[in-house]
Amino acid sequence: MRRAKRALPLVAVVLALGAALSGCGSESGPRGDGVSTGQERAEGSGKEKGMDMQEAAEESDALLDAVLEGIDPEVQWAHGPTTTRACGVTRRRAVMTVVSPERRQTFLDRAETFWRKNDYRIKAVNKDEKFPAVYAVTRSGFGVSVSFRGKGQAFLEADSPCVKESEVAAPASEPNGPAYEGVYPLPRPNVRSDFWSAEGG
């Protein structure tokens, strides 16, 4: 009996500690690949600052506008679908300029350089020959990425931290080419560029 009495306080401490820790987690993005402890803290900050999904969507649009402006020469792009999850929002852009295999790493390098200059944390770099990508996190907890997928098309995404639920309007920024409104999936890249579509390093 004595042994059982001694074990009881220890069990109570473990249970209490487990309950306390269970409240510290945060939701990951739709891929379920949480970013880091710092990112998790940031994901709670959106709600604390009173940001809602619409404001987060507008911030995401600004982040995507900025990186596209930072990629030189300019590429043509169109809006991709907006999605919402439990407490966050994702904005997407599809690049309509053909980027040759030889130029894909240069494209990613320019996005990464822009993010580093603006104090984003580079979370991961995928050097895959066919489907390279780079992922970063802003100081306010927004995840941003540029990745190459089927037919060598480049896609940009911005994932918000956890924010208050609200309605989300369509993006206000105008694409610098056809909008493809109501067209899904978007066409493959169909605009050629002297620089981005050229073969050779």
Distance CA 139, CA 46 (A): 12
Q: What per-residue confidence (pLDDT) applies to 195? A: 97
The DSSP secondary-structure symbol of 199 reads: S
pLDDT surpassing 70 at residue 71: yes
Distance CA 73, CA 196 (A): 8
Q: What per-residue confidence (pLDDT) applies to 166? A: 96
Residue with tokens 């130029």, as numbered in its chain: 103
- Comparing CA positions, the residue from 100, 98, 97 lying closest to residue 177 is 97
Distance CA 109, CA 159 (A): 20
The DSSP secondary-structure symbol of 144 reads: E
pLDDT surpassing 50 at residue 150: yes
- Comparing CA positions, the residue from 105, 127, 123 lying closest to residue 115 is 123
pLDDT bracket for residue 46 (50, 70, 90): low
Distance CA 135, CA 120 (A): 10
- Comparing CA positions, the residue from 69, 61, 113 lying closest to residue 92 is 61
Q: What per-residue confidence (pLDDT) applies to 148? A: 98
Residue with tokens 């999936």, as numbered in its chain: 185
Q: What is the pLDDT of residues 2-24, one digit of tens each?
A: 444 444 343 333 333 333 333 32
Higher pLDDT, 41 or 184: 184
